[in-house]
Structure 1
């Protein structure tokens, strides 16, 4: 069921833009136990589910839109045109859109001033979808300065406006935590970032963490199905590992207790 996005500025969807839909379904189904049903954008799209709960959309449109194979986190906005203008005014860049997906809504692909890509969505979202808490995924922004990043996102997404139906960002234990209705839905972390190709996960970017009960087992399954690790073994010790799927999209496995 489609419902209007209830919390302005909150994450509202995860999307994988890939080159081969069936290959992506096979990989994530085997590694993360997802099942799939047809998406709302034709035969080249599907919705991934875990235990009947929607997790993400997968679309074989990377070549069509001339964008990299990648996972993207989308944030809800009231007006995509206005949000895109705010991105440009505040030093970000616009890659695609806004594009209309009538009657559901409008989308744009943009990047913050440090180059971290994300999506904007004006319209309806799937009922039952969420990140953070008990959801199967959560979001982390790795950036040079979390405070500066929070100012940018706050102004673009309306975090700084307050009021009902709006996210709230607060500085907690050396990171900025984004909360929607009191639930932590994303974390913005400061730290050294890389610009070279050797450590792509350490560039400024939104990392999508998928929760698993056994990181080493999930990593082994991913590698067996063609993924490659891009973070070192010390990350695994800390309960997470960042991988590149067989088509090139980065994602992070994150340990949670059963």
Structure 2
């Protein structure tokens, strides 16, 4: 969700190398492409819907009405929808801790999944209680269910990890504070986008009016940093460790 579509396109083209094409939803919504494949959508809808500028993950569902009912039954909030949106139906909700997420019933991009190809590297929910959140999302989206295409969850290093096949698609970690003055540590979903060079991404972000909102984080395979765009939307970029063997560097962020 953005207020100025052209400004958002200019920023993310510079930081992440995206190109953009029009969508079937009119001139207020565009599809971001990386190496010719869809990565994300940017809509100039924040002001019209009275919503903050933000990145929001949308989860595919079989039935939007069933999903909305599950959300309400578990004490969460339906903010928008479900309503017709393009070729499908979409809804926007907030979980019991206040983290905003969306869901989508309809056609999805073939062979496109978080953690693979041009898609985001992974999603991370930072919330109060990771175990409690994993129960909520597991029941709403049938994670770890018996049906085909479902995901598997596990508890690793004080966080819940969601995998689809061999790909890590989401992580849920605890410690966020509901009323923290710093919005970066309130319960929220963070979208991680892969970049080849972390320092270059930070430099370009600063030059285009954004900035870093946290120190660089590291693991044995990757480095990442939380950034904000000029409109205030936070996102995370992740790059492979420079010391990795070149044969696996391109896959280190998965």
TM-score category, normalised to shorter length: 0.7 to 0.9
Q: Is 1:208 the equivalent of 2:178?
A: no
Deviation at 1:121, TM superposition (A): 0.6
| RMSD over equivalenced CA pairs, Å | 1.9
Question: 2: CA distance between counterparts of 1:197 and 1:31?
Answer: 27
2:31 match: 47
Q: Which residue of 116, 123, 126 corresponds with 1:139?
A: 123
Question: 2: CA distance between counterparts of 1:236 and 1:216?
Answer: 13
**3-state SS of paired residue (1:220):** helix
* 1:140-188 deviation line (CA, Å, top 9, x unaligned): 1111221111100011111153221222222233221112233221111
Map 1:50-129 → 2, pairs under 5 A: 50-102=34-86, 104-129=87-112
* 1:187-217 deviation line (CA, Å, top 9, x unaligned): 111234362233x221111100111122121
Structure 2, unaligned runs of 5 or more: 241-248
1:228 match: 211
Question: 1: CA distance between counterparts of 2:37 and 2:136?
Answer: 32
Question: 2: CA distance between counterparts of 1:235 and 1:248?
Answer: 21
Question: 1: CA distance between counterparts of 2:84 and 2:76?
Answer: 21
Map 1:159-178 → 2, pairs under 5 A: 159-178=143-162
Normalising by structure 1, report the TM-score: 0.86
2:174 match: 190
| Kept in 1: contact 2:123–2:191 (CA 8 A) | yes
| Kept in 2: contact 1:162–1:168 (CA 8 A) | no
| Kept in 2: contact 1:18–1:247 (CA 8 A) | yes
2:246 match: none
1:21 match: 5
Deviation at 1:224, TM superposition (A): 0.6
| Kept in 2: contact 1:107–1:122 (CA 8 A) | yes
* 1:74-133 deviation line (CA, Å, top 9, x unaligned): 00111111111111111211111111125x110011011111110011111122432114
Q: Is 1:37 the equivalent of 2:17?
A: no
Q: Return closer, same or farther for 1:167/1:57 CA change in 2, 3 Å cut-off.
A: same
Structure 1, unaligned runs of 5 or more: 1-16
1:10 match: none
